[in-house]
Amino acid sequence: EAQVTQNPRYLITVTGKKLTVTCSQNMNHEYMSWYRQDPGLGLRQIYYSMNVEVTDKGDVPEGYKVSRKEKRNFPLILESPSPNQTSLYFCASSRTELGLANATQYFGPGTRLTVL
């Protein structure tokens, strides 16, 4: 089954404790993104990657890191989480650039993160 998986689905942590949210897709997609979703603010892109070893900042990259060492994986790293990073996080992937033919973006199920 074609899918984007994220782990963990729920996480409660404390300020300053480094954490990683994993994302994996089994569709051989080149494009992957991380979003955060907050009430009243919609979806905001954190980072995106156009291929292995190619990443770039989205709209709200501060406090986050990413890496793309393999095509299927795109982990999101919070080196020193703070309460303002409490949010619902989504990973997404697409075969190619959005807007081109067959460039559907698939989202993972989300990770709800609470930073105390």
Partner 1 sequence: QQQVKQSPQSLIVQKGGISIINCAYENTAFDYFPWYQQFPGKGPALLIAIRPDVSEKKEGRFTISFNKSAKQFSLHIMDSQPGDSATYFCAASNAGNNRKLIWGLGTSLAVNP
Nearest to 75 by CA among 27, 19, 31: 19
Closer residue to partner 1 in complex, CB, 1/99? 99
Q: Does 50 bind partner 1 (CB under 8 A)?
A: yes
Least distance in Å: CB of 69 to partner 1? Answer: 21
Reference 81, options 17, 30, 33, 31; nearest CA is 17
Please report the sign of the dihedral spanned by the C-alpha atoms of residue 99, residue 25, residue 86, residue 82. negative
- Give the burial string for 40-51 (b: 16+ CB within 10 Å, else e): eeeeebbbbbee
Separation between Cα atoms, residue 39 and residue 34, nearest integer Å: 17
Closest distance of CB 15 from partner 1, Å: 27
**Of these, 10, 40, 69, 102, which contacts partner 1 (CB under 8 A)?**
40
- Using rule CB under 8 A, residue 41 touches partner 1: yes
Q: Which stretch binds partner 1 (CB under 8 A): 19-27, 35-43, 63-71, 79-87?
A: 35-43
Binding site for partner 1 (CB under 8 A): 4, 40-45, 48, 50, 56, 58, 90, 92, 97-99, 104-110
